Amino acid sequence: MTTRGVSHPVASDAVVVDRVSMTFNEGKSNEVRALCDLELVIRPADFVSLIGPSGCGKSTLLRLIASLISPTSGSLLVNGKSASQARVEQDYGMAFQQSGLFEWRTVQKNIELPLELKGWGKSKRHQRSTEMLELVQLSDFASNMPWELSGGMQQRVAIARSLAAHPPLLLMDEPFGALDEMTREHMQAELLRICAASETTVVFVTHSIPEAVYLSNRVVVMSPRPGRITEIIDVNLGSDRDEDTREEATFYGKITEVREALRGAEAADGPRGIEDR
């Protein structure tokens, strides 16, 4: 088992987090130490989940990788570039708990938005968005407006949008958090299928232990205040995961392992915000 990050990052790594700390409102009375001295290396085509109690800074880490915020100290590399450079070059796609579709655009036009901002021509955009619609199996809804779709379908459109430019990295912040259990399991299987087909690296923030175990090659367990990585658990359920996997002993074994790691991580603080489902 690997603990902490890999000590020898190479240029081809998808994400390198090097001694990153994040403090909000530094020097003021409401100062919050969100992350402390984080190290993490993510290889290409890896699927890594970040799990931990509320307030452990997992979303903050994701936003740092996305360069939506800048670290107080330390450095981040995405595809061998600085995180901000990677953002400018649109090296990653992002999906949130809310689908965040633009309600005045059709489903297809929503998927084309990142391509428009990259300056792609109309026919090239149309071709790619049509492919993406096929990938998430929503071709019949290309000209529908977002509100005409169910929550799960909207989330699939959001995933198609985040993958439209074929970014090498996908950053997801509890994308299935607002979905019901059945839809959620279906979406997890869809995501694995899509990522396997496109060889995308994924960093996935979640509250759910089974979700993290089912999806990931590695589960990063974090502790709160200030957020630290306490353990990295290798899962590797194999690439042929299906619905039966959820009933296997190894699956349950890994769930127990992650749960115990979480208990250890929050022993001082008491468990909060973790779903056992």
Partner 1 sequence: MTFKKIMGAIGPPLIFGAIFLGIWELIVVVFDIKPFLLPAPTAIWSEFLERSDDIIEATLVTGTNALIGLIFGVVFGVAMSFVLMRFQVANELVTPLAVALNAIPIIVLVPVFNNMFSSTTEVPRQLMVTLIVFFIVMVNVAKGLRQVSPVHMELLRSYAASPREVLVKARIPNAVPYLFTALTIAAPAAVITAFVAEYFGGRQNGLGYSITSNAAASRNAASWAYVIGACTLGLIFYLVAVGLEKVLSPSQHSTKQQSGGLAPGGASA
Phi, psi of 65 (to 5 degrees): -60, -35
By beta-carbon proximity to partner 1, the closer residue of 99 and 230 is 99
By beta-carbon proximity to partner 1, the closer residue of 23 and 84 is 84
Nearest distance, CB of residue 162 and partner 1, angstroms = 9
By beta-carbon proximity to partner 1, the closer residue of 49 and 155 is 155
By beta-carbon proximity to partner 1, the closer residue of 76 and 153 is 153
Q: How crowded is residue 3: how many other Cβ atoms within 10 Å of its Cβ?
A: 9
d(CA 84, CA 76): 9
Residues in contact with partner 1 by the rule CB under 8 A: 66, 68, 87-90, 92, 94, 96, 98, 100, 102-104, 113-114, 116-118, 137-138, 145-156, 179-180, 182-183, 186-187
How far is CA 102 from each of CA 112, 146, 158, 177, rounded to the nearest angstrom?
11, 8, 10, 20
Q: How many CA atoms lie within 13 A of 171 on its CB side?
A: 22
Nearest distance, CB of residue 255 and partner 1, angstroms = 23
Nearest distance, CB of residue 8 and partner 1, angstroms = 29
By beta-carbon proximity to partner 1, the closer residue of 46 and 185 is 185
Tokens, residue 112: 């084309």
Nearest distance, CB of residue 176 and partner 1, angstroms = 10
First to last CA, the chain: 25
Nearest distance, CB of residue 25 and partner 1, angstroms = 19
By beta-carbon proximity to partner 1, the closer residue of 31 and 180 is 180
d(CA 244, CA 251): 10
Which has the closest alpha carbon to 218: 231, 230, 199, 228? 231
Nearest distance, CB of residue 209 and partner 1, angstroms = 22
Q: Is the dihedral of CA 58, 64, 69, 72 positive or negative?
A: positive
Strands (E), 43-126: 47-51, 73-78, 81-82, 92-95
Amino acid sitting at position 22? M
